[in-house]
Copies of this chain bind each other. A is one copy, B any other.
Amino acid sequence: MTRKRTIKLTRFEIEIMDALWDLSSASIREIHEKLPEKKRPAYTTVQTIIRRLEEKGAVRQTKQIGNAHIFEPALTREAAHRRLIDELLDLFGGSARPLMAHLAEAGKLSLEDVRELEIMLAQKGIEESSEGESQSSKGAKARRSGKA
């Protein structure tokens, strides 16, 4: 276990990562320019964040063009999203149910969304049962034992 699983990103850091995920590999300038003008911070601010992200192990510097460093994500958007979701789920007591209910309640979820999801799940269920792999609901709490 490389302990990389504990990379925690702040909201702002995620926005930077978003740019980088989109670009897949970029210089600080490119990242900076990719940020929406409205909320575009100073170039050096981005630089600072990238440095911190590097320290956290979320991005890595791959090469150098001229004297500019080129960075790329060291963790996938999916992994980051999963992290975020897990965290939220934790706050919700570990179960996705209330979360779903809220989404539905707030109209963020349409009936079609759910139907499609259902199909997807059914599909997944089939695949899984054909490899004797049951991972349904043990991940949720197996995780809570890190830093006491």
Q: Which residues of A contact B (CB under 8 A)?
A: 11, 14, 38-39, 78, 81-82, 84-89, 91-92, 96-111, 113-115, 117-118, 120-122, 124-125, 135-137, 139-140, 148
Asked if A81 and B92 make an inter-chain contact with CB atoms under 8 angstroms apart, the answer reads yes
A-B contact pairs, 14 of them (CB 8 A): A84-B88, A89-B108, A96-B108, A96-B109, A100-B109, A100-B113, A105-B124, A107-B136, A108-B140, A109-B117, A110-B137, A111-B122, A114-B121, A118-B118
A106 touches B14 (CB 8 A): no
Q: Binding site of A, secondary structure by majority: helix, strand, loop or mixed?
A: helix
- As for how many copies of this chain the complex holds, the number is 2
Q: Judging by beta carbons under 8 Å apart, are B124 and A104 in contact?
A: yes
